[in-house]
Structure 1
Amino acid sequence: MRVHFYPQSSSKSYYFVKIIVLSLALFLALIATFGRFASASASEIIPEDAIRIRIIANSDSDFDQKVKQAVRASVSEAILAWGEMPADHDKAQSLIRNHLKQLQKLVNAKLNDYDVDYKGRVELGEVPFPDKQFKGKSYAAGDYEALRITLGEGKGANWWCVLFPPMCLTAATAQDDDAKVATASVKPAHASNASDNGTEAEKPKPKFFLWVIIQKLIAFIAGLFS
């Protein structure tokens, strides 16, 4: 029987190559994961040509807020029934504009169901928004393109989200402290040059994620030598 003895230097080289290969694999996995994380974060920023939606209650009374929620549910269901929102701004704008009469009828019917003594107004154009936050990012007050549905005097808290691109049809909601801006006139619709709102919690910063991965990588390498 022959017993083979391998030089100790060969064993060290094997472990060195193993460490390099594993470290490279972890590094590539880290880059891929970070790329997906960064891409997801970027997609949550409202683009400049976004089209928003605001449904503004007549007042802040419990009843008027209930009416607003009912209108929101009806309008959201109708919009979802349109199918996938076009990826092009002009086509999305055209789709919304072609359904304005449908939405107006839905709003009228819902207000009639609740037997209120006020009307609803559906319009698409540049409308005033106060300062807003969306997923941790602040957006300055200004005029932004939106589908606006004003119920009665429009002095109550509003519901809002982003129709184009379809970022939050039923998820993101916010309330305006300055609801009076809702009564301002609407300008002709065209792509806006700024963005707006949101209330969801801010995502963890990428640097924290990277630091955790680096710590794990260091601990792994150290373990190979222990």
Structure 2
Amino acid sequence: MEGKKNYLERYRIRQIICVILGICIALAATLLLTASRMKQVDAKVARTQESLAKEVFRFHVLANSDSDEDQAVKLKVRDAVITYMKESMDEEIEGSTDAKDTKEWAKAHLEELEQVADSVIAREGYSYQAEAEVTTCYFPDKRYGDILFPQGDYEALRIKLGKAKGHNWWCVLYPNLCFTNSTCAVVSDDGKEELKEALTAEEYEMVTATSDFKIKWFFFGEDSEED
């Protein structure tokens, strides 16, 4: 009896060990699968952001310094440049629905844009000057109400004021999401429709539902693109 009892005890211990090992193996496999899947999702998000970056054109203004005076000048330059661009572009590329047209227009009018900025600076009583360029810049996440543009590299019209050592301001020039009043930085239904027309279905889904976009692609993968 004692031998049989010992045998049963060892058998139960082996069963417990097998169950524990099975759970550990399953957990490890799940973690590896999840990590692999998340890596694929992150790569997918990065590719979509790169595609999105080709469809938009941003605006970036760097202040001379962080002093209250230079920050105020930055905002006045921003307003003057946006106003000038809207008026001039409406005449020259009316009806354009392509970010490329906006980029090309900016490249062809850098001197005029600098003059607009310089006139504001001079009017405010400062002697430093502005430098305008179209370049690729890194931008952090930017939210407009329920619209989120993910972080990454984007082409932008960049205007550097003086030493350009102060805090900057940015927006999306195309599609038109340049809100000069932060309290009104919510995309209207018409703005969303314009954004939807400018982006692919996947890009639009990304900017309107970033978290859901990741979850959907995590569970459905490439099949989600066919929906």
- Normalised to the residue count of structure 1, the TM-score between the two structures is 0.50
**What's the offset of the Cα at 1:123?**
0.6
State the partner residue of 1:56: 62
Size of the alignment, in residue pairs?
135
Pair 1:122 & 2:128 matched:
no
Answer whether contact 1:57 1:152 (CA < 8 A) is retained: yes
Instruction: Give the aligned partner of residue 109 of structure 2.
Output: 99
Q: 1:159 to 1:113 in 2, by over 3 A?
A: same
Per-residue Cα deviation, 1:192-212 (whole angstroms, up to 9, x for no partner)? xx99xx9xxx99xxxxxxxxx
Report the RMSD for the aligned CA atoms in angstroms.
Answer: 3.4
- TM alignment of 1:45-194, pairs within 5 A: 47-48=52-53, 49-82=55-88, 83=90, 84=94, 86-136=96-146, 138-171=148-181
1:50 to partner: Cα distance: 0.4
Q: SS where residue 116 of structure 2 aligns?
A: helix
Superposed CA offset, 1:104-135 (max 9, x none): 11112222222324221111121122343343
What code does the residue aligned with 1:146 have?
Answer: A
CA change 1:149–1:47 in 2 (3 A) is same
Q: Which letter maps to 1:53?
A: F
Provide Cα deviations, 1:9-64, integer angstroms capped at 9, x if missing partner: xxxxxxxxxxxxxxxxxxxxxxxxxxxxxxxxxxxxx9432000011211221111
Higher helix content, 1 or 2: 2
Provide the identity percentage: 35
CA distance in 2, matches of 1:161, 1:99: 19
Distance 1:72 1:85 in 2: 24
Give 2:26's aligned residue.
none
Instruction: Give, as a single letter, the amino acid of the residue that structure 2 aligns with 1:62.
Output: D
Runs (5+) with no aligned partner, structure 2: 1-50, 184-202, 210-227
- CA deviations 1:49-106 (Å, max 9, x no partner) are 2000011211221111111122112112101112146212322221222221110111
Give 2:80's aligned amino acid. Answer: S
CA distance, structure 2, for counterparts of residue 85 and residue 76 of structure 1 = 18
Relative to 1, partners in 2 of residues 1:172 and 1:146: Cα closer, same or farther, differing over 3 Å?
A: farther
Give, in whole Å, the separation in 1 of the partners of 2:105 and 2:158. Answer: 15
In structure 2, what residue type is equivalent to 1:81? Answer: E
Judging changes above 3 Å, is the alpha-carbon distance between structure 1 residues 51 and 143 closer, same or farther for their aligned structure 2 residues?
A: same
